[in-house]
Chain A
Amino acid sequence: MSQDPAAAVQQTSTAAPIERQALRTLFAIDENARVLAFAQTFTGRLVLVALFAAVLAIVKDAAWPQVLMITGAAAACAYLPKYRAPILFGATVALLIGKPTFWFVTKNISDVMRQEQITRLSERTATFAALLVFFLCAWGTLEFARRRNASFLARKPVVALLCAVTLMLALACSPLLHGISRVALWSLLIVFTSYLWFLAYALVDQRSRDRSPHLFQLGVFHPFWGSTSTPFGKGAAFLRKMQAKNPQELAVTQLKALKLLVWSWLLLQLETLLVGLMEGRLHLPRIALVQAAFFEHHPYPLFIGWASLVWATGAAALSLAIWGHQIVALARLAGFRLPRNTWRPLESRTLVDFWNRYYYYFKELLVQFFFLPTFLRMFRNHPRLRVFFATFMAAGVGNAVYHFIRDIGLAASMGLWGAIESYTSYLFYCTVLATGIAISQARANAGFKPSPKLIGRVWSFFCVWAFVVCLHVFGDESRAHGLGERLSFMASLFGVNEWTTTPR
């Protein structure tokens, strides 16, 4: 039986979109009317939350009591909107108290206690005391900003908070304090800085007419759904706008939450597979090992160095997507329609596009607290300089300030100068990244658009990721190697400045 070749081609080309559409419909459970109706019933909600808890237990490899507590809190938040503020605050505090270690503070506080030879006080007690003092101060600060909205604190919250950090740091690093008073100040400073950007968002909200109550504001300080020093879901103001407004919207949001969590699990499987392949089968050394070997004058061959660097960059991106999706999924289960933290970074066509897709909540923080204040006030008559400078303030200065403050505990263990000196590599990273993004932004403003053709897409992918991979050498946040060492390692990857040693 003969077939017209043109018709065959047409048949094949129409079959593919139909298959894609069918696949899309299969996964679009949040658009399926029957599923949506079921997700709004009591049984449907029970099934949805139970499924979410089961997947979360697998993805996080966490104990069931913790999973049930987090999922239960999220469900309560979603289904009891009248009590959302106390539930949020209660769950966040319960998780804080129930955690065996406060990952973001205890190690640094115990370092200071060791330096001061304080043994009669446990690090847990010091942390609890600092947390209690911080929360009381935060409540007082919010109340002050609400009552006096013309005060400096209310008008320029970030500047005021950064001034407070600087003063506390100067005092903590001075020889004036010893013993328990030094431990107390460092404990408070370390806790304060880990909540800094949460407090900044809350202070900004105090000037809104429909601001949230303090209990809600404090409930989203390192909320139970997870965060880093970057608030996922920004502050109460954003969460207020993003909460599901009716049962239908809530069902869609929670189904999207489940989908995102499953996607996170799939990415986790991919990560396990790739780690097994790269590090197990191919015996590709980790980048830290490649760098250590280079500094010991026994460098790996060039292709191993490059392969390790590319793998390290890819693994970091994959890891960010996995845990970012888990946090956003939990917040969605609680009824907040949050955008993803990472959104298809491999499809980035330009650097500024990559910046938007890679780590959304960090970018938003820098835009709100560094980019916009600069852009709205500086160089208004010089459009190009205005964009360039504002972008530089966000991706460069803001980025550097954020990371230095995040790791402020290092100033206690390494000394202030040591912490600054070991930070030069990251400063270089921020400078180059900011320049790259600013140029990309300026090009976008001038109307530059990457070619939509396949070759253009491949070229865009190559340019963006080559930049990101090269910069990864300096963006590694460990303070193990200085700028000079990292520069010579980078140069060695291009065959320059190789030490006259025998390669492995």
Chain B
Amino acid sequence: MDNNAKVTLRAFLTQTLEAHGDRKGFADTDSLFVSGRLDSLSMMTLIVHLEEAFGIDFAQVDFDVDLIDSVNDIASFVDDRLAR
């Protein structure tokens, strides 16, 4: 995932967290879903965002929340899917 895409992703996640009243900020390694900062509704919007931005077909993914739990997890996941 290039820098621009990462910036866009961070902006998306910041906006989603703010919608939950969470303005604490987050590092690229911070857990977002497992820690409970974001809920399943946000997971759904993130999945749609990744489908639209990177053309990922989640029907082909053996999905687990760990795959998209932090910015770094998402970046690795996207890189892995795009490399296939």
Contact = CB atoms under 8 A, between A and B. Distances in A.
- Greatest chain B CB density within 10 A among A364, A375, A387, A390 is at A375
Interface of A: 207-208, 238, 241-242, 339, 352, 356, 363-364, 367, 371-372, 375-377, 380, 383, 387, 390, 441, 444-445
B27 interface: no
A380 B51 contact: yes
Nearest to A207: B62
A374 to B, nearest CB: 11
Given A364-B40, A371-B40, A383 B48 contact: yes
Contacts of B45: 445
Contact of A376 (B31, B34, B36, B58): B58
Given A208-B64, A238-B34, A241-B34, A387 B44 contact: yes
B61 interface: yes
A352 B47 contact: no
Interface of B: 31, 34, 36, 39-41, 43-45, 47-48, 51, 57-59, 61-64, 66
B61 A376 contact: yes
Contact of B59 (A364, A367, A371, A380): A380
Contacts of A242: 34
A207 B67 CA distance: 13
B36 A339 contact: yes
Contacts of A372: 40, 43, 63
Main secondary structure on B side of the interface with A? helix
B40 A367 contact: yes
B65 to A, nearest CB: 8
Given A356-B39, A367-B40, A441-B41, A376 B62 contact: no
Given A241-B34, A339-B36, A377-B59, A352 B41 contact: yes
A372 B48 CA distance: 12
Contacts of A376: 47, 58-59, 61, 63
Contacts of A441: 41
State the 8 A-B residue pairs at the shortest beta-carbon distance, nearest first.
A376-B58, A367-B40, A339-B36, A377-B59, A241-B34, A356-B39, A376-B59, A376-B63
Contacts of A371: 40
A364 B34 CA distance: 11
A441 B45 CA distance: 11
Contacts of A238: 34
25 contacts: A207-B62, A208-B64, A238-B34, A241-B31, A241-B66, A339-B36, A352-B41, A356-B39, A356-B40, A363-B40, A364-B40, A367-B40, A372-B40, A372-B43, A372-B63, A375-B44, A376-B47, A376-B59, A377-B58, A377-B59, A380-B59, A383-B48, A441-B41, A444-B41, A445-B45
